Each structure stands twice: as C-alpha cells, then as structure tokens.
Amino acid sequence: MIEVNNLHKSFGEAHILKGITTSFEKGKTNLIIGQSGSGKTVFLKCLLGLFEYEEGSIAYDGKIFNEFSPDEKRDLRADIGMVFQGSALFDSMTIAENVMFPLRMFTKQSKSEMEDRVNFVLKRVNLDGAHKKMPSEASGGMQKRVAIARAIVNNPKYLFCDEPNSGLDPKTAIVIDNLIQEITDEYQMTTVINSHDMNSVMEIGEKIVFLKDGYKEWEGSKDTIFKTENEAVTNFVYSSELFKKVRKMYLEENQ
Amino acid sequence: MFRKPTKWSVMKTLILKDIDDLIIGSLGIVAFISFFVGGVVAIQTSLNISNPLIPKYLVGFATRQSIILEFAPTFISIIMAGKVGSFITSSIGTMRVTEQIDALEVMGINAINYLVFPKFIALTLYPFVISISMSLGILGGLAACVYGGYGTFEDYIEGVQNDFIPFHMAYAFIKTMVFAFILATIPSFYGYFMKGGALEVGKASTTSFVWTSVVVILVNYLITSLLLG
C-alpha cells in the first residue's frame, strides 16, 4: 500500500502539486487520471522517487520514503517495476536481454535460473518465442508487453505504469489493461497507472484518483464514477457522446 | 560517477562493447586518414624544398615531426570528436529522450556510472589508436615519397631516424591521454543532460562536437606551452 499525505511539488514559481492526499491499495489497479498538465506525470515521478518534493510525505507499506536510509531506498527500488509511456526498452539488447536486465543487476541467480525466469515471464505476457527479437523489430503492443515483463520479472511489490495504452489500437489497449489487472491480482502488487484513456477507467479502475490543476479533485472507483455529480470529473470523463450514452444507460439500469 | 558502481559482471560486458564501438570501430577511418595525410605531408614538404643545400632526408624528418607532434594526437582527436563524440552524445541523448535513462534510475542504477564509466575505461586504449595513426602516417609518407618519385627509401628512413627526441613521444602520449578524457566526458555531458526530442539529439551532437574540438585545441595549446615552450 502507498499512502500520500499533503504532497506539494513546485518547479521554480510553478506550483504543480498542491497538497495531494490519497492512498493506493495493494492488489488493486489504482488509476491517476486528469487532463494534460494536471500534474499526473509529476505525481507519478514523485511516487517513483525521481522527483524530490517540498512538503508532505509518501509512505510505502507504512514506511515514509524521505526517512529511508540510502540502503533502504535501494532495496525499495528493487521492489518497484515501471512501465514507461514509450516502453523505454534498451535498444541495444534483445527482448530476452531486456527482461533479464533487472535479474542481472539485482540478483545472484545463475544464467540458467535467469533464463528460466525470463522464459516464464515472457510466456506470462504471451511473448513466447520473441526472445531474440530486437525492440525495434517488435510492434507497439509487443513492446508494451516486454516492458511489463521486465517490470515484473523481479517480483516487485509496486508496479507503476505511465500511460501504458498510449499509441495502441483499442483492442491491444484492452489486452494490455487486462494483462496489468491479472498480474496485479496474481502477484498482489500495488499497481498505480497514470492514464487518460477512458476505456481503462471503465475496465480496470478499481481505485481512481482524478487530478485537476495540481489538486486531487475527486477519488472513487469505476462504479462510483458513473454516479458522481462532480462537474470537473463528468466534463472530463464524459466528454464524448459515446461515454455520455454509456453513463446514461448505466444510471437507467441501476436506478 | 563512482557512487553505487554497476556489478562487475555487467560492467565487463559494457566495457568490451564500448571498446568495440569506440576503439576498434574507429581504426578503419583513422588508418585511412593517417596514411593519406602522411603521404600529403611528405609530398608538400618535398615540393617546398627548392634549395639544393637542404638535405633530402628532411622530407622524412618533417613528416615524422608533423605526424607525431600534431597530426596524430591533435587532429585525429578532432576527427574522433566528430566520430566518437557524436556517437556518445547521440547514443546517451537518445536514451535520455526515450526514457531509457529514467528506466535505469527507477531501477536504482547509477546511470552515470553505467553509461559513462565504460566509455571512460574504453578510451584509456585511445593511445593505441594514436600509435597506429603515427605508424601509418609515417608509412604513408614513405609510400608517397618513394612511389611518387619525391625521394629515395634510404633518404626518407634517414630523416625519420634523424635527431629523434624520445620526449616528443612522451609529449604526444600525455596529450593523447588528456584528449581521451575530453572525448569521454564532454560528449557524455551533452548527451546525459540534454532535454527535448529527436531534433535536440542532433543539436546536442553538433554542440558536443564543437565544444570538444574547441577544448581539444585550447588544451593542446596549453600542454604544448607547458611541455615544449
């Protein structure tokens, strides 16, 4: 579980995060949503420890990050898996080498043990047989699955995904969403996804945090988001005619 | 750069890869340029000797001095700033814009140690490249001199051996090691700290080449003043 309390982050004069308090639960897919410029990426990078913040705290399973010793911070990073928006696969390595990379860096496993683990994880993300391909030879969907495989190969406690569906067709996006949700459930990880894909919100949003102008405007789940009267949320989520109709049908069915 | 070093088993692979990319991969172009520039230096020297009192062996002597003192260490370093420097800036810069460096940092890896240190170690073999440049430059001068009819084999060899000062080799290799350090650090700096997208990677490579060349030229002046002045 990750608990965030009164988080503030600025870049010079620009105050980006303005006192965010929320929590992300273990074994659930937690979504951070909001318009471009709302502070989602900065928030995610603060959670990852890539950005330092001026005020507030982030606690991982009850322990406050800023109070960690350097060794504890290093141990925590070994427990974090991250799926980047552009996959961020290492160009000079094959798919199997990319997935094996965290094992090579952080474990003392033998080569055969590492290969077994890579085979298992690649099979889990339905990429059996793609071991020797280079990232440039893989499609966008395949690259995202490799990134997920690399993120989970070390059995992390926390999985972070920055817009995992960006640039993917709707069908592949749903495959990736479902894969993340299945893996979260299977390994009981605390998963935090930064997204502005409304399909993801409706499919896997077990907990949703809506950011607006650096504030936490609303939080709920994929069920409560249909019922919310918060104008900022409804304007953002139901901006398309399709989602307006979906919401109307949901509300009629559940009256 | 030395805090939280990368595991040796991984670092070994990175160093070998960088030796291949930066050193072995540069030998072809360095050999080609050195051989033909050595030839041109010999021809130019020969054509500018009109006084019959000047000994014939001066062609070999002048070629050796030009190649060992300036061409091999300094001008090959400027060529390497274009080849190796641009490669280092663009490869690290591309990793920056495609979030690969962020991925390393999220994993808790010291990205500077992982990316820059192997290049630094690989470039400690740079004097090997310069030795080859020196040898081929002098050989190119010999070939141009003998086969172009500008002098005899014996005269050229006599010139190469004449008045040889071993400290000149030390001076050339001291410069070479300093230039190796410059070639590893300035391009890495421009790649690592770049911001933006693909266009900025190109701009960073150009800026890195310009500044590496400027620093090489200035440092060359300083070292020459200190050691030979």
Please provide the DSSP assignment of B64-81 as one string: HHIIIIIIIIIIHHHHHI
Number of alpha carbons in the 13 Å side-chain half-sphere of residue A191: 32
Q: Is A214 on the interface with B (CB under 8 A)?
A: no
- Higher-confidence position of A169 and B205: B205
Provide the residue ranges of all domains of chain A, joining segments of one domain with +: 1-79+157-221, 91-155
Q: How many percent of chain A have pLDDT more than 90?
A: 23
Are residues B107 and A91, on separate chains, in Cβ contact within 8 Å? no
Count CB-CB contacts under 10 A for residue A231: 9
Q: Is B89 on the interface with A (CB under 8 A)?
A: no
Confidence category of residue B20, pLDDT binned at 50, 70, 90: very high
Are residues A84 and B102, on separate chains, in Cβ contact within 8 Å? yes
- Residues A22-42 have a mean pLDDT of 89
In this prediction, residue B1 carries a pLDDT of 62
In this prediction, residue B106 carries a pLDDT of 85
How many Å apart are CA B91 and CA B111, to the nearest integer?
A: 13
In this prediction, residue A124 carries a pLDDT of 84
- Residues A181-204 have a mean pLDDT of 85
Confidence category of residue B2, pLDDT binned at 50, 70, 90: low
- Residues A157-173 have a mean pLDDT of 84
Nearest partner of B193 among B182, B202, B203, B204, judged by Cα:
B204
Q: Is A89 on the interface with B (CB under 8 A)?
A: yes
Buried b (16+ CB within 10 A) or exposed e, A166-191: eebeeebbbbbbebbbebbeeeebbb
Q: How many percent of chain B have pLDDT more than 90?
A: 80
In this prediction, residue B62 carries a pLDDT of 94
Q: Is A77 on the interface with B (CB under 8 A)?
A: yes
How many Å apart are CA B51 and CA B63, to the nearest integer?
A: 18
- Higher-confidence position of B131 and A92: B131
Adjacency order of strands within the sheet including A14-24 = A14-24, A2-11, A55-60, A63-64
Indicate if the pLDDT at residue B228 is higher than 60: yes
- Residues B104-114 have a mean pLDDT of 88
The mean of the pLDDT values for chain A is 86
Indicate if the pLDDT at residue A198 is higher than 90: no
Nearest partner of A204 among A228, A232, A219, A223, judged by Cα:
A223
- Residues B197-215 have a mean pLDDT of 94
Indicate if the pLDDT at residue B206 is higher than 70: yes
Q: Are A158 and A113 in contact (CB under 8 A)?
A: no
Are residues B10 and A105, on separate chains, in Cβ contact within 8 Å? yes
pLDDT tens string A217-233? 888 888 888 778 888 88
| Chain B residues 97-156 within an 8 A CB cutoff of chain A | 98-100, 102-103, 105-109
In this prediction, residue B44 carries a pLDDT of 94
Positive or negative torsion for Cα A187, A192, A195, A199: positive
Indicate if the pLDDT at residue B219 is higher than 80: yes
How many Å apart are CA B178 and CA B216, to the nearest integer?
A: 9
Count CB-CB contacts under 10 A for residue A108: 8
- At residue A24, what are phi and psi to the nearest 5 degrees? -120, 125
Confidence category of residue A74, pLDDT binned at 50, 70, 90: confident
Indicate if the pLDDT at residue A191 is higher than 60: yes
- At residue A6, what are phi and psi to the nearest 5 degrees? 50, 50
Confidence category of residue A24, pLDDT binned at 50, 70, 90: very high
Please provide the DSSP assignment of A28-47 as one string: SEEEEE--TTSSHHHHHHHH
Which residue in A50, A92, A104 is closest to B102 by CB distance?
Answer: A50
**Which three-class secondary structure state does DSSP give residue A3?**
strand
| CA Rg value for chain B | 21
pLDDT tens string B145-180? 999 989 899 999 999 999 899 999 999 999 999 999
Are residues B7 and A104, on separate chains, in Cβ contact within 8 Å? yes
Interface test with B, best of A44, A75, A105 (most B CBs within 10 A): A105
Which residue in B10, B106, B108 is closest to A74 by CB distance?
Answer: B108
Interface test with B, best of A41, A92, A154, A163 (most B CBs within 10 A): A92
pLDDT tens string A6-16? 999 999 888 99
Q: Are B130 and B76 in contact (CB under 8 A)?
A: yes
Q: Are B138 and B38 in contact (CB under 8 A)?
A: yes
Distance from CA of A161 to the nearest CA of B (A): 12
Looking at the DSSP bridge assignments, the partners of residue A216 are A211
- Residues B82-93 have a mean pLDDT of 95
Q: Is B48 on the interface with A (CB under 8 A)?
A: no
- Higher-confidence position of B124 and A74: B124
B13 CB neighbours in chain A (<8 A) are: none
Interface test with B, best of A68, A84, A109, A152 (most B CBs within 10 A): A84
| CA Rg value for chain A | 19
Fold of A1-79+157-221: Rossmann fold (3.40.50)
pLDDT tens string B189-204? 999 999 888 899 999 9
Q: Are A196 and A163 in contact (CB under 8 A)?
A: yes
In this prediction, residue B25 carries a pLDDT of 94
Are residues A105 and B107, on separate chains, in Cβ contact within 8 Å? yes
pLDDT tens string B33-82? 999 999 999 999 999 887 888 888 899 999 999 999 999 999 999 999 99
Interface test with B, best of A82, A85, A109 (most B CBs within 10 A): A82
The mean of the pLDDT values for chain B is 92
Are residues A77 and B107, on separate chains, in Cβ contact within 8 Å? yes
Indicate if the pLDDT at residue A250 is higher than 90: no
Distance from CA of A44 to the nearest CA of B (A): 11
- At residue B177, what are phi and psi to the nearest 5 degrees? -65, -40
How many Å apart are CA B107 and CA A41, to the nearest integer?
A: 18
Which residue in A80, A84, A102 is closest to B99 by CB distance?
Answer: A84
Provide the residue ranges of all domains of chain B, joining segments of one domain with +: 8-227
